[in-house]
Amino acid sequence: MKTIDQIAAELQGYDPQALRAADVNAFLQRLVAPVTETEDVGIFDALGRVLARDVVSPVSVPPHDNSAMDGFAFDGAQLHSGQTLVLRPVGGTAFAGTAWVGQVAAGECVKIMTGAIMPAGLDTVVPQEFTSTQPDGSIRIAPDVLRRGDNRRLLGEDLMQGQVALSKGELLTPAAIGLVASLGLKTVTVYRRLRVAYFSTGDEILSLGEPPREGAVYDSNRYTVFGLLTRLGVQVIDLGVVRDEPALLEAAFRRAAAQADAVITSGGVSVGEADHTRTMMKQLGDVAFWRIAMRPGRPMAVGRIRPGTPASQEKTASSSCTTSASSYQNESIQGAATGSVLFGLPGNPVAVMVTFLAFVRPALLRMMGCTRAAPPLLRA
């Protein structure tokens, strides 16, 4: 595992005091690594998860030649440019779900519904609205409205049996879930959920329910980060608001690192701030402090925090923190022995959102095992 200094040495022109946005993402791609643990989940639980194994199609889609329209199936060899075609329907209708049984001679056609298997020897479907019925019951097709093979879906046209339908590293979207179901698969193999702990720092931060006091503001960042993480599909561990006291900050960082793959904080990373967050980050991990060449969101800290005492032994130190019940529900989860990736975001609410979307989200997706390309950063 490379250190912060080793990663920095790989980036040409690296300047922590004026770091370009592109260099931030390049740095983070080297800092983070995908999780490796996998599990099999049912389709209804797979939305937002990342595939850990290729999905190979056990069937062809569609499984047979079939009609793409309601109309009449016939042998397209009978079509000739500039000539009207008159066909005589045979008895019965080809419906979706059952094979039509019978013989079709030259000059005959079969009434067919969308999705029905194409009768043997027939390769073209004329939509019903392109036909007119003659007094003797025959079907008239105007010249030059069709080409041979029109309105026929071929066996395996979408996907052939044995082909890769979805690749390892793909994020399972609603469309992807539907594709998996169309193959008759009940489960998929995915990477385990990424565990992300987060907390806000500062003596001036009030939690909801606390009475107002002079100089204090209500915390909005926790709820913004909660929404961003929940939408990303990770396992969210809310560690509340931590006052700017060394013992409390150390307990919070150690507790977060013991439970989570990644730790996100807001506040306390600006140059010259009087709080202890920066000092504690340096003390407990390998951390870089940046001034990014963009606004909002200029100050940011990244690195790794070493795991410490499990959360169950930190209750005395953490009792002064304002912590949600959800954090205690995750106390048994242990972070990786190598520590957790740290993202120290600014305290400004807009800067939190900008830095999360521009930098943290792509890094977390990589940690989730997702290989989807990040949205482009554009000058506006």
Q: What is the mean pLDDT of the chain?
A: 86
Where does residue 258 fall: left (phi above 0), alpha (psi -120 to 50 degrees), or beta otherwise?
Answer: alpha
The per-residue pLDDT for 213 is 86
Q: What is the number of residues in the chain?
A: 380
Residues near 225 by beta carbon (within 8 Å), at least 6 away in sequence: 198, 264, 266, 352, 356
pLDDT at 273: 52
Looking at residue 215, its pLDDT comes to: 78
Per-residue pLDDT, averaged over 288-316, amounts to 74
pLDDT at 172: 95
Range of weakest confidence among 273-287, 302-316, 357-371: 302-316
Cα–Cα distance between 246 and 275 in angstroms, integer? 9
Query: Structure pTM?
Result: 0.79
The pair of three-digit structure tokens given for residue 370, joined into one six-digit string: 């997702």
Lowest pLDDT segment from 23-32, 115-124, 209-218, 254-263:
209-218
Kindly state the average pLDDT of the residues 34-50: 95
Count of beta carbons in the 10 Å neighbourhood of residue 298: 20
Q: Are strands 262-266 and 152-153 parallel, antiparallel or unpaired?
A: unpaired
Q: How far apart are CA 301 and CA 268, in angstroms?
A: 10
pLDDT at 154 exceeding the cut of 90? yes
**pLDDT tens readout for residues 253-291:** 999 999 999 999 987 766 555 557 888 888 888 888 888
**What's the pLDDT tens digit per position in 86-114?**
999 998 899 999 999 888 999 999 999 99
Q: What is the pLDDT of residue 330?
A: 37
ω into 143 cis (within 30 of 0) = no
Domains and CATH numbers, the chain: 4-36+193-367 (3.40.980.10), 38-59+161-191 (3.90.105.10), 66-153 (2.170.190.11)
